[in-house]
Amino acid sequence: MTEPHQPPPWPVGTIPRRFAFVAAPNPGARQTLAALTARYGQHDPQEADAIICLGGDGFMLEILHTTLGRAIPVYGINCGSVGFLMNPAIPDDLPTHLAKTQAATLHPLRMQTTTRTGKVIEALALNDVFLFRQTRQAAKIRIEVDGRERLSELICDGVLVSTPAGSTAYNLSAHGPIVPLSANLLPLTPISAFRPRRWRGALLPATARVTFTILEHDKRPVAAVADFTEVRDVISVEIEEDRTLHTILLFDPDQSLSERILAEQFTV
């Protein structure tokens, strides 16, 4: 399995030399930051050849959001608790190593919410957009895809739409399918569905526009979350992939994101 076709993060034969190091606020990441900046120096992200992210997946998501729409690639070194988006070790020769890495181009989901007060709020998600009940009452949600009603009433704790890269995160925990990067599909997965009890979700084309309408929203309030942006008391949520924005993530040779997604399906 290969990554979707894309240009290399830098010209073939070029070894990157200027790095912008960023670190999560934990002791391991800070120690690694000090060691790497002492060896390679520190550059402004606007002038660097690559951003080196030191931390875990959560911190990586924050950094990737800052690079959306920019050509600069991001290479992660795991200094946190979860490292699916990270590389496991510090390379001996960072410039030479990065010249051999594999690039994955990720596109975000764009979430547009309308709240009970009529306020419209937008946010982007590289992992997923999920809706979740705010109280003890189960949520009631109508689902439309490209303007066509597909489910008149889903009674549940919540529901989510995931990117392929995020399909191994909350989506997998909710028993949704893992999706390869090259599949151009978006998982739509219920969270603790009560009715229809046996509905397990759907795989949607990447071009789909999904609309969630909250039924009985006064009695059964619902919050919507795009990665780390939360909007409460929503009455409708629209989600679609934004192909005008992208970010580039680098992985060690033979450890591409597609390979990791494939391997995750055989993890027991």
Residues carrying an active site annotation: 57
The answer to whether the annotation marks 127 as part of a ligand binding site is yes
Closest alpha carbon to 169 in 94, 225, 116? 225
- Residue 57 assigned ligand-binding role: yes
Instruction: Report d(CA 54, CA 37) in Å as an integer.
Output: 12
In angstroms, the CA 120 to CA 186 distance is 24
d(CA 59, CA 33): 14
Q: Determine whether the annotation assigns residue 93 to a binding site.
A: no
Can you tell me the distance from the alpha carbon of 46 to that of 238, in angstroms, rounded to the nearest whole number? 33
**Is 173 labelled a binding residue?**
yes
To the question of whether residue 78 is assigned a binding role by annotation, the answer is: no
87 marked among binding-site residues? no
58 is in an annotated binding site: yes
Closest C-alpha to 23, from 99, 90, 100, 93: 90
Q: Would the annotation count 75 as a binding residue?
A: no
Annotated binding site for NAD(+): 57-58, 127-128, 157, 165, 168-173
Annotated binding site: 57-58, 127-128, 157, 165, 168-173
